[in-house]
Amino acid sequence: MNRSIKVRLAFIFIVLLFIPFVACQKEQEQTVQVAEVTHSVFYAPLYVALSKEFFQEEQLDVVVKTTWGGDKTMTALLSGGANIALTGSESSIYVESQGSKDSVINFAQLTQTDGTFLVSKEKVTHFSWDMLKGKEFLGQRKGGMPQMVGEYVLKKEGIDTKKDVRMIQNIDFANISGAFSSGTGDFVQLFEPAASLIEKEGKGYIIASFGEASGKVPYTTFMAKKSYLEENKETAEAFTRAIYKAQQWVETKSPEEIAKTIQSHFPDTELDILTTAIKRYKQQQSYATNPLLNEKEWNKLQEIMKASGELPQYIPYKQLVDPSIAKKVTDNK
């Protein structure tokens, strides 16, 4: 047997030995189904964790699906269609108030401010909130965090949402931007990158931030059924470690680098729009720098819900928030 044949046989032998090892490694990965309430650059750290393979480093195969709306996201979670939900913390309060036997627990925070912006049909040089009086305001879905924060800010600015403005809240989330572009409303409340895209197209102008006006609140959190967290504690910890790593990465990187990293998750959005949106969110500190949801923020959430008439009952922090996972992850950093 000549030397070249021996070399080829040795190579084949090594490959055959390696294949079972790779298969074994793959089998060890824990699949985690995540339902996200919408698909937005507002959730940049999640897409960073996917793009930079932080989940894979934790032996997790994370599959994200967009469920478009808090009610649909909760349905996916409660029915077993998802292991983890990414949505507003208010959703867990709604579920609890309905007498759920398996509470939905908030265990990791992703965003810490509202992520919407006020967009005007006309260009405004010197903005003041009372400019909305007597105008049509195209808002978000009633009972959701964007709508509640929007009303909270307007009331704080002395605007009666029942008398001073004509509220439009009967348009589906996915169609709000299109409705505004087509002529509905004088003002609209939009997430990024929709707000920047409308501005770039010359169909509107970003004039204020609801996130800056309302302050810190547990706007979007990862949550799971109590039973899932009890049975999959190590998985939840691994998931949170990956998210924390992504949060820290986002905190230290430029909007340009973040945009390039997550661009594959937004193939229909131009890089400059992504960069602009991320810059806005970083400037107003929308991205939480760690996954810990504190009690002060939780109480602020319920204050906003109460002001909007959407708080079914007060829920103590310890009842629906488990900070132990985030604490363990951040303490061991």
Q: Which two tokens stand for residue 258?
A: 């973040």
Instruction: State the pTM of this model.
Output: 0.88
CA distance 19 to 25: 10
Domain 34-113+218-331 belongs in CATH node 3.40.50.300: no
Q: What is the pLDDT of residue 111?
A: 98
Percent of the chain with pLDDT over 70: 92
- Integer angstrom CA distances of residue 183 from 136, 138, 247: 11, 11, 38
79 contact partners, CB below 8 Å, separation of at least 6: none
Q: DSSP of 24-59, one letter per residue?
A: HHHHTPEEEEEEESS--GGGHHHHHHHHTTHHHHTT
Predicted confidence (pLDDT) at residue 289 exceeds the cutoff of 90: yes
> How large is the angle between the packed helices 145-156 and 295-307, nearest 10 degrees?
80
In this prediction, residue 143 has a pLDDT band, given cuts at 50, 70 and 90, of: confident
Domain limits of the chain? 34-113+218-331, 116-214
Residue 271 — φ and ψ, nearest 5°? -60, -40
State mean pLDDT over 68-75.
92
Q: Do 34-113+218-331 and 116-214 come out as alike in CATH topology? A: yes
Query: Highest mean pLDDT range out of 9-13, 67-71, 150-154?
Result: 150-154
Q: What is the pLDDT of residue 164?
A: 97
Q: What is the pLDDT of residue 21?
A: 45
Predicted confidence (pLDDT) at residue 10 exceeds the cutoff of 70: no
In this prediction, residue 1 has a pLDDT band, given cuts at 50, 70 and 90, of: low
Tally the residues of the chain.
333
Domain 116-214 belongs in CATH node 2.170.120.12: no
